[in-house]
Amino acid sequence: MKSESPLLKVSDLTKSFGGVMAVTGISFDLKEGELLGVIGPNGSGKTTLVNLITGFVKPVSGKVLYKGANITGKPPYKIVDLGISRTFQMVKPFYQLPAFKNLIVPLYSPRVKKLAGGKYGARDAVALDLLEEVGFERDARVSYKAASALPQGYLKRLELAKSIALRPDLIILDELFSGLSLAEVAGIVPIIEKLLSQGKTIIMIEHRLKELFRIADRIMVLNYGRKIAEGPAAEVMESDAVKEAYLGSEV
């Protein structure tokens, strides 16, 4: 932990969709280098929270501070420019393009250009390296296949590669593990651990609790758009509110 002030400070964030409260008064802090796991039943507001932080949805009230600066309601491309990148739960590749060409788009962004010091270099080579980093076999044909021909496991990794390509400081992974086999998840966990060792800060929205609890520093539990618990995994799962949210209340 390099600095005392949090990397991300979310305070009292609220969003409603036509009378339905999707997120109600959520506040939390995130320290640099930390991995925060966010769990909760379906429809508890996890993805909306991600959309609020990354600017895809504007909040009704509340604030998001990143590195001390207010980023509430800024458009997504500006938030990415500041160093926050995300993956989508429903993968959004460029289906017509070959897998490695998908990465040319983030590599073409102003942020990457800035960080590369104006040197544009061989983007294709960088793209192929990034694919290898997320587990595409080196020199395999799969990197050159159109994204529309890739199986789900590769699409999820491609989604991860697209967010890593932006050289973010904070990565938000929205249900990266959903739809993957145990073996595939086991293949991705070391990639996430490596990102942490590089000093990246990560928020993971997950339903695969077992894998999440192994790598997360802290867990936040949402239910009906509200934060109902926060703390170390073991502690959180013992709390009555969480048991009730997941198992229902005693009759």
Partner 1 sequence: MKKRKERIDRGIKARSADIFALSSYREMLYLLAPGAIPVIGLLCFAPLLSAYWKEVVISTAVYALLAISWDMLMGAGLLSLGQSLFFGIGSYIAGTLNYYWGVSPFLTIPIATLVGGALCMVLLLPVLRLRGIYFAMVTLVLPLMFARLVEATRIFGGTEGLTGLTPFPNQMTAFYVIAVALLCALFGFRRIMSSDYGLVIKAINDNDRSVMNAGINIYWYKAQVLFMGASVGCFAGAFVTHLDMFAGMPGFALDYSIMPVAAAVVGGTGTFAGPMLGAFILVPLSEMLRALGALRIVFYGLFLVIFVVGIPEGIFSYIQQKYHQLERWVEVE
Using the contact rule CB under 8 A, the part of the chain among 15-23, 78-86, 181-189, 240-248 near partner 1 is 78-86
CB of 223 to partner 1, least distance (A): 27
> Helices 123-133 and 152-164 sit at what angle, rounded to 10 degrees?
120
Query: Residue 166 or residue 212: which is nearer to partner 1 going by CB?
Result: 166
How far is Cα of residue 244 from the mean position of the Cα atoms in its chain? 27
Cβ count within 10 A of residue 138: 9
Q: Does 80 bind partner 1 (CB under 8 A)?
A: yes
Site mask, partner 1, residues 17-36, x = CB under 8 A?
--------------------
Q: Is 143 in the site for partner 1 (CB under 8 A)?
A: no
> Does residue 58 belong to the site contacting partner 1 (CB under 8 A)?
no
Separation between Cα atoms, residue 141 and residue 48, nearest integer Å? 36
Instruction: Measure the CA–CA gap between 81 and 119, rounded to whole angstroms.
Output: 17
48 is an interface residue for partner 1 by CB under 8 A = no
Chain residues 97-136 in contact with partner 1, contact rule CB under 8 A: 97, 101, 104-106, 108-112, 123
First and final CA of the chain: distance in angstroms? 45
CA torsion sign, 87 to 89 to 95 to 100?
positive
Between 45 and 93, whose beta carbon lies closer to partner 1? 93
Which own/partner contact pairs does 92-96 have at CB distance under 8 Å and 24+ positions apart?
92/159, 93/147, 93/150, 93/155, 93/158, 93/159, 93/162, 94/147, 95/146, 95/147, 95/148, 96/146, 96/147, 96/148
Question: Contact with partner 1 (CB under 8 A): which of 58, 92, 207, 214?
Answer: 92
Closer residue to partner 1 in complex, CB, 166/188: 166
Contact positions vs partner 1 (CB under 8 A):
54, 56, 75-77, 80-81, 85-86, 88, 92-97, 101, 104-106, 108-112, 123, 162-163, 165-166
